[in-house]
Structure 1
Amino acid sequence: MMEVAPNPGSAAAWRCLQPILRLHRIGVCYGKNWALRDVSLDIWRGDRIAFIGPNGAGKTSLLKSILGLVPLAEGAVLRAQAADRVAYVPQKLHLPSDFPLTVGEFMAISHPDWSAWFGGLPSRLRPAIMDALDQLNVGALVNQTIGTLSGGQLQKVLLASAMLRTPGLLLLDEPSASIDQRGTEELGECLAQLQIRKGLTILFVTHDIGLVRMLASRVVCLNKNLIALGSPEEVLSQSPPPGGDSRWFTALGRSFPHSR
């Protein structure tokens, strides 16, 4: 399913007439098992796309195929120059509580220009690091040991470290997985503001329908292949397609209507 480019006279024309990323009938296979097959999608500058679906639907495999971390068994990922600057925030970063780095030090070794680091926050990197942390409202944590952060605080620090690379395309895998509802709302607001200020294109995998409604401009529902594509209102209100089962309702955060 390939999408039509925006009409030059429409409100979407600012995105330009070419997608920054085109997935053309891509497939990912692990051994004999297809994780993803025959998925096509055009991604436009400024998109905020949520990828939803049951566990094992191929959502993370899709992100990894965009990053080039897994080989394609079929199809192609075509990039425009605007998609060359990519940042990725993984689902989890497991750190012991006694992990010795402070937030500032973690940011320093995440900076693309760091070298010969011997601890502390290098003065030449401090302005960029503090700016990235302040944009996520976590500048006050700069001297706190990173292993002692809450799930929400750590997720914001990881996002701030990703922004040090000045990406045009930001990929997030389950960004709200370890965060409570209030933290999810704060994260969604931060991401929305970053998207506006930095002109980001955001692709995120999630099971959190609240975050989908808050942040996404479009939703892709996957279950090995592309099941549905549209606005949050369009996709989240759909009934299952022919042959759909309880996994469809689980993906959309709704109860499965068992027959009596």
Structure 2
Amino acid sequence: MRPLVRVEVCVDSVGGLDAAVAGGADRIELCSALALGGLTPSAGLMAAAGRAPVPALAMIRPRAGGFVWSPAEIAVMCCDIRASRDAGLAGVVLGASLADGTLDCETLSALLAEAQGMTTTLHRCFDLVPDPFVALEQAVALGFDRILTSGQAKTALEGIDLIAALHARASGRIVIMPGSGVTAENARRFTALGLRELHGSCSVTQAEDTKVAGFGFGPELRRVTSARLLQALVAASKESNGADQR
């Protein structure tokens, strides 16, 4: 019997946190600024997630842009990892690159040492590496628990062939978790490959107050977590569980 599929949802607000719990998420990726790909959440949001009944992993990313970090930024990231632990979070999501796009194993090793005892995800800096199979072996050697990837494409569905190949190469040594555009409608495409963790945003577009947007305090449209879409993704994953176990 295969293990059950677990659904992770990314959220960047207390409202998103509540929707994740209501929607039945198995795990939460906790961020700020999801419109920028996710940045480190505030201490207050970490504390709220630490009290939630669902395990949460904090994104450790101190700024938008690429993943080549300065020594000062690495020091900030180490401090944020400690804050995640102090808040009672289950783990962290992080990544670091060299100028050529390959993984910065030295920096990653230092960050993982700070996160010892927590569950760890290598984020989508993986999707920028020149050789994903070399990066896979590096992630295994470093001790990551999972890799979040779209298969080096804009969406996981577009990158599904590489995701399948990575899962086969991983051979149980590390979890390959597809993310970017994973929904209830396509979940079975991934679970049919034997993938046991799915990552989704499960978000809907919400119009912002025009005056707020006009003053530059936010975009005219923003994405918010939908408990309904998450429930649908969780239900689809359970259907996959049943199909795999019959």
Structure with more contact order per residue of length (Cα contacts < 8 Å, sep ≥ 6)? 1
- TM-score calculated relative to the size of structure 1: 0.36
- TM-score calculated relative to the size of structure 2: 0.38
- Which structure shows the bigger proportion of residues in strand conformation? 1
- Which structure shows the bigger proportion of residues in helix conformation? 2
